Amino acid sequence: MHPRIFAEQTPDKPAVVIANGGPTLSYGELEARANQAAHLFQSLGVKRGDKVAMSLENCLEVFEFAWGAQRIGALYIAISSRLTADEISYILDDSGSKLFLGSDYIGEALDKVPEKLPGLAYFTKDGAHGAYKSWSEALDAQPTTPVEHESIGLDMLYSSGTTGKPKGVLPALPPEDTPLMTEDKLALLIKTFFGADDSTVYLCPAPLYHAAPLRWSQSIHRLGGTVVVMSKFDSENALELIEKHKINVAQFVPTHFNRLLALDEDVRAKYDVSSLKAVVHAAAPCPIPVKEKMIDWWGPILFEYYAGSEGNGMTFINSEDWLTHKGSVGKAIKGIMHICDENGDPLPQGEEGLIYFEKGDQFSYYNDPEKTAEATNSRGWTTLGDVGRLDEDGFLYLTDRKSFMIISGGVNVYPQEIENHLITHPKVADAAVIGAPDEDMGEKVVAVIQLHDHDQDHDETRTELTKYCRESLSGIKTPRQIDFRKELPRAETGKLYKRLLRDEYWKDAK
């Protein structure tokens, strides 16, 4: 389970295709460039357990960098290309990274980072300038053969950093003498539950600096498939690429589904998507009506999972089970799942509480022992801070993040249920529900709405949405305030930056 196997067996087969006329990297070329990157890292003093970082757009260099670091036991960090120079510098400094690969894509941050943090080895994929050396020229000067004493490296990804300082998820490296070709757990899960193999043509529509796009793409390489990478998501272009490349496995987020469903019927019908065998989604809750429509359109080929960058556990559900357990994210396929109270003690079946995993991968938050301790109970089980419940069949239903819970008049209110209801209204394109300060109740429920047509009468729509909520939700869950935005703050992965909205409403509270 390693791309080197396929570099030997099928060297000319595409490993990576940058969509819409972009460059292609074959397995033979990937092997050569990864070996050259490994030699480069070692020549600069990078050793097992050291950190190296990149901040790039979706491009071939992401894979050269990641697979090169993976061969020498290094921890490779993919930093969002949307961050400022201060934010990038913080991650480089906090992690103790020895090397940074950037590109012109990150804008003015590119030249500001070396000014803020001198002393690193700086490279850019766009050619040498300033403090940066040329990545391609540096690799060209290195051997294409494997380095001596290869060792398995892993990714070390940082949280998005929308509140406070981001924290790195430090994985436990396997023993130094573990063979490079050792079976990878995630690749095995993807093969077993999602049917991926060397015939897979996988569509990656999201930024590779996020956990799932990077890890799934590398897992497809471990299985010998081809990864088709979109530079930026576009609904119709995604359908076009599915038809053109005969995509059989694709991974989306619910926001992508919303945009696909918003296409005119004649546009949706124009493209042949019959090659799809597995459409995977995760990263954010998917409203039931949205998933129902996608299954009606593409058939029972939707697969959902719940997991985090920490890798401490994973659930899975196929379309057949979801249709009989609507809203569930499935049963555990990695680790043993428990629902616990605030103290980390197990709760009876059916009760809501924090989701813990037992016997998952070990991790810690880098330079933050307090956060690591908060995520671990007395039994050694770990949690991501999500709240949910298990039904009598063992299926997990996510309620919300613990940190997003609203306490109004002493009653706990979870926003996700309200958001899932609001998104079903025909005028609503997106919805975020937060708690805002209230003198009487402590917190009040506020809905921030993105409409399909932002110019329609807001007062009239506010009245309509309030009535719509009262028809199905209890009084405490019905928003007491409804505001409108042209667009909600979401990452390309679909993750809603709810904290940013919440901070706006609380900034003047005493």
Closest C-alpha to 473, from 420, 401, 407, 404:
420
Residue 453 is encoded by which pair of tokens?
A: 């047509």
Instruction: Give the residue range(s) of CATH 2.30.38.10 domains in the chain.
Output: 321-402
Per-residue pLDDT tens digits for 65-119: 999 999 999 999 999 998 889 989 999 999 999 999 999 999 999 999 999 999 9
Strand order in the sheet with 302-307: 24-26, 14-18, 226-229, 201-204, 249-252, 278-281, 302-307, 314-317, 331-334
CATH 3.40.50.12780 maps onto the chain at 27-175
Q: Which residue has the higher pLDDT, 326 or 165?
A: 326
DSSP β-ladder status, 302-307 and 314-317: antiparallel
For the domain 183-309, what is the CATH code?
Answer: 3.40.50.980
Task: Look up tokens 């409203």; give the residue.
Answer: 287
Query: What pTM does this model have?
Result: 0.84
**Contacting residues for 153 by C-beta, under 8 A, at least 6 apart:** 48, 69, 70, 71, 72, 73, 74, 75, 76, 173
Average pLDDT over residues 449-458: 94
Residues of the chain with CATH 3.30.300.30: 405-506
Query: Would you say residue 454 has pLDDT above 50?
Result: yes
Model confidence over 369-424: pLDDT tens digits?
998 999 999 999 999 988 899 999 999 998 877 677 787 866 778 788 899 899 99
The share of the chain scoring above pLDDT 70, in percent, equals 97
* Cβ(215)–Cβ(155) below 8 Å: yes
Locate 184 and state its tokens. 């990878």
Whether 426 contacts 392, CB under 8 Å: no
Please say if the pLDDT value at position 353 is more than 70.
yes
Report the percentage of the chain scoring pLDDT > 90: 79
Res. 335: pLDDT tops 90: yes
pLDDT of residue 163: 43
CA distance 330 to 291: 14
Give me the pLDDT at residue 408, please: 80
Over residues 215-231, the mean pLDDT reads 98
DSSP 77: E
The model's pLDDT over 481-509, given as tens digits with 9 standing for 90+, comes to 999 999 998 877 677 888 788 888 888 76
3-state SS of 273-333 is: CCCCCEEEECCCCCCHHHHHHHHHHHCCCEEEEEECCCCCCEEEECHHHHHHCCCCCEEEE
Residue 153's nearest CA partner among 139, 168, 174, 167 is 174
Residues 183, 1 contacting (CB under 8 angstroms): yes
Can you tell me the distance from the alpha carbon of 374 to that of 56, in angstroms, rounded to the nearest whole number?
Answer: 32
Give the per-residue pLDDT at 410: 65
The answer to whether the CB of 182 falls within 8 A of the CB of 188 is no
* CA gap 332, 305 in Å, rounded: 9
Give 246-258 as a DSSP string. T--EEEE-HHHHH
Torsional sign, CA 194, 198, 199, 205: positive
For 269, other C-beta atoms within 10 Å of its C-beta total: 11
Residues of the chain with CATH 3.40.50.980: 183-309
Task: Name which of 478, 482, 480 is nearest 439 in CA terms.
Answer: 480
pLDDT score of 127 more than 90 = yes
Q: At what angle do helices 235-245 and 254-261 cross, to 10 degrees?
A: 90
Task: State the average pLDDT for the chain.
Answer: 93
Phi, psi at 272, each rounded to 5°: -90, 115
The fold of 27-175 is Rossmann fold (3.40.50)
Distance CA 23, CA 262 (A): 30
Rounded to an integer, what distance in angstroms lies between the CA atom of residue 212 and that of residue 43?
30
Each residue's pLDDT tens digit, 423-436 = 999 999 999 999 99
Written as one string, the DSSP assignment of 177-229 is T--TTPPPHHHHHHHHHH---TT-EEEE-S-TTSHHHHHHHHHHHHHT-EEEE
CATH of 321-402, one of 2.30.38.10, 3.40.50.80, 2.40.10.330, 3.10.180.10: 2.30.38.10
Q: What is the mean pLDDT of residues 195-201?
A: 97
Among 3.30.70.270, 3.40.50.1370, 3.40.50.700, 3.30.300.30, what is the CATH number of 405-506?
3.30.300.30
Which pLDDT belongs to residue 162?
40
Which of 463, 455, 451, 459 lies closest to 423 in space, CA to CA? Answer: 451
Round to whole Å and give the CA distance between 325 and 317: 9
SS3 432: strand
Which pLDDT does position 493 carry in this prediction?
67
The DSSP annotation for 435-473 comes to EEEETTTEEEEEEEEEESSTTS-HHHHHHHHHHHHHHHS
Q: What is the mean pLDDT of residues 192-197?
A: 95
- Which token pair is 489? 């703050």
- Best mean pLDDT range from 44-58, 151-165, 356-370: 44-58
**Quick one: pLDDT at residue 75?**
98
